[in-house]
């Protein structure tokens, strides 16, 4: 129950800051990860600490490639890791998969809202078109075409769905 309360507070604060400032702060994540480790060590000893550490590392590893490719920020990676430290490795896989689906839906919504869907599809499939000699109009400014989504919100949706199915 204690961990669930910490998770709810963490999600609310991180989603708020991600939506309003497009940042997820270490000053929120660090205390939550310390609480997670302390709680799990207190309740289950060494095994609890190992459980929390596995959740942290798996959560961060799941978003490492998107981070290295520039698709998401470091705060998102740490946010998923802290959720893993709180709830463990099995929970974090469900949260990650649910969050990926939510993030995809959010990305489609943002692209449609900002009228960038066609440009994005052209950009995505341009290697195929160039391979077959088709020409794509690249008149749009790439700086203007960058649409980012607050992926922390997608992670929060994923964690909420995982919590729902864990019950």
Domain map (residue ranges) of the chain:
2-114+151-166
Give pTM, 2 decimals: 0.84
Q: Which of 6-10, 129-133, 145-149 has the lowest mean pLDDT?
A: 129-133
Q: What is the pLDDT of residues 68-113, one digit of tens each?
A: 988 899 999 999 999 999 999 999 999 999 999 999 999 889 888 8
Position with higher pLDDT, 3 vs 115: 3
Measure the CA–CA gap between 136 and 142, rounded to whole angstroms: 14
Radius of gyration of the chain (CA): 19
Please tell me the total number of residues recorded for the chain in this structure: 167
**Which ranges in 22-88 belong to alpha helices (H)?**
26-62, 64-68, 74-87
Long-range contacts of 72-78 (CB under 8 A, 24+ apart): 72/151, 73/23, 73/24, 73/151, 75/14, 75/18, 75/23, 75/24, 75/25, 75/26, 75/29, 75/152, 76/24, 76/151, 76/152, 76/155, 78/24, 78/26, 78/29
């Amino acid at each position: 129950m204690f961990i669930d309360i910490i998770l709810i507070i963490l999600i609310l604060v991180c989603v708020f800051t991600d939506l309003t400032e497009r940042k997820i702060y270490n000053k929120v994540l660090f205390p939550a990860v310390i609480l997670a480790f302390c709680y799990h060590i207190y309740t289950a000893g060494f095994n609890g600490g190992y459980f929390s550490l596995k959740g942290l590392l798996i959560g961060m590893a799941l978003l490492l490639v998107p981070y290295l490719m520039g698709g998401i920020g470091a705060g998102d990676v740490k946010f998923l890791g802290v959720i893993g430290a709180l709830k463990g490795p099995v929970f974090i896989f469900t949260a990650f998969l649910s969050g990926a689906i939510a993030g995809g839906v959010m990305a489609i919504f943002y692209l449609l809202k900002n009228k960038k869907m066609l440009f994005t599809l052209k950009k995505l499939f341009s290697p195929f078109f160039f391979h077959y000699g088709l020409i794509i109009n690249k008149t749009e400014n790439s700086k203007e075409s960058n649409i980012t989504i607050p992926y922390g919100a997608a992670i929060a949706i994923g964690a909420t769905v995982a919590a729902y199915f864990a019950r």
